Amino acid sequence: MGLVVALIVAPWLFVLANAAGLWESRNGGNDSSGAGALALAAAHPGLDRFAMVTAMLGSLLMVPAVIGVMRLIGFRAAWLGLIGGVLTAAAYICYFAMNSGDRFPLAMMARGDTGPEYGKIIDASLNGASVVWYFLLFAVGSLVGTFLLGLALRRGRVVAWWAAAAVMAWSILKVPEFMGLRVAEILGSVLLAIGFAVIARTLSRQPLLADAEAQIGEHGQHPAVVSLGVEQS
């Protein structure tokens, strides 16, 4: 039940976070630099905090959501599901860390520390070798991991093709998102929500051991056993 809830809730939290970010920057500006992040936090502190919290909660729930997807895939596309699931979960653990850093511009704004030197401090805190790796892991995991997860759903034929395509679209739309097109991240998160809703519905109808039972062949052989060339007595 918990996996089903995570599948339903996680992507909608991203929809809310992305919509708040889009509305926050509707008059221009972005958070790609320390100075820009401070300006947005000063202009829209409530929206900035809302976007931060909802993105962090969505990132937390992505881990059990991905586990739910992997459980549904089971043995049908095991390697694709495993690689895609691990990359996606790792990406959103990193995304949690990335969003938690938004508390610093908010704290500086609350203190009135909005001078250019404070923007440079934020830039320096985000460009060190100790933190750059999780930005890179998020980029790789969100671009590659989610696509592989959707591909595993398609190859395993566990949900309708369009639901698997919706999950893969979330990954593809990361490209224009990384290029600064904020509408793409909202569209991608809505498509992910649709795909995950179908997965949640399918998973909720699956008994705990149904996946294992479905893998038993007509001669009582599990495919993992067959692949090793071992006969069951």
pLDDT of res. 167: 95
Name the token pair of 29.
């500006």
Name the token pair of 140.
């790789």
Q: Has residue 77 got a pLDDT over 70? A: yes
Distance of CA 41 to the CA centre of its chain: 24
Among residues 50, 14, 32, the alpha carbon closest in space to that of 142 is found at 14
- Cα–Cα distance, 204 to 193 (Å, whole number): 16
CA atoms within a 13 Å half-sphere pointing along the CA-CB vector of 111: 10
CB 146 within 8 A of CB 88: yes
Helix (H) or strand (E) holding 17: helix 2-24
Q: Has residue 75 got a pLDDT over 80? A: yes
Sorted by sequence, the CB contacts under 8 Å of residue 74 that are 6+ apart come out as 81, 156, 158, 211, 212, 214, 215
Distances (CA, A) of 18 to 35, 148, 162, 186: 20, 23, 23, 6
- Cα–Cα distance, 146 to 152 (Å, whole number): 10
Model pLDDT for residues 157-170, shown as the tens digit of each residue: 999 999 999 999 99
pLDDT of res. 224: 40
Cα pseudo-dihedral 158, 163, 168, 173, rounded to 10: -170
- Cα–Cα distance, 119 to 87 (Å, whole number): 32
Model pLDDT for residues 27-61, shown as the tens digit of each residue: 766 666 666 677 777 677 778 889 889 999 999 99
Sorted by sequence, the CB contacts under 8 Å of residue 232 that are 6+ apart come out as 219, 220, 221, 222, 225
Model pLDDT for residues 160-218, shown as the tens digit of each residue: 999 999 999 999 998 888 887 878 889 999 999 999 999 999 999 876 544 444 444 44
Comparing 183 with 110, the larger pLDDT belongs to 183
pTM over 0.85: no
CA atoms within a 13 Å half-sphere pointing along the CA-CB vector of 44: 20
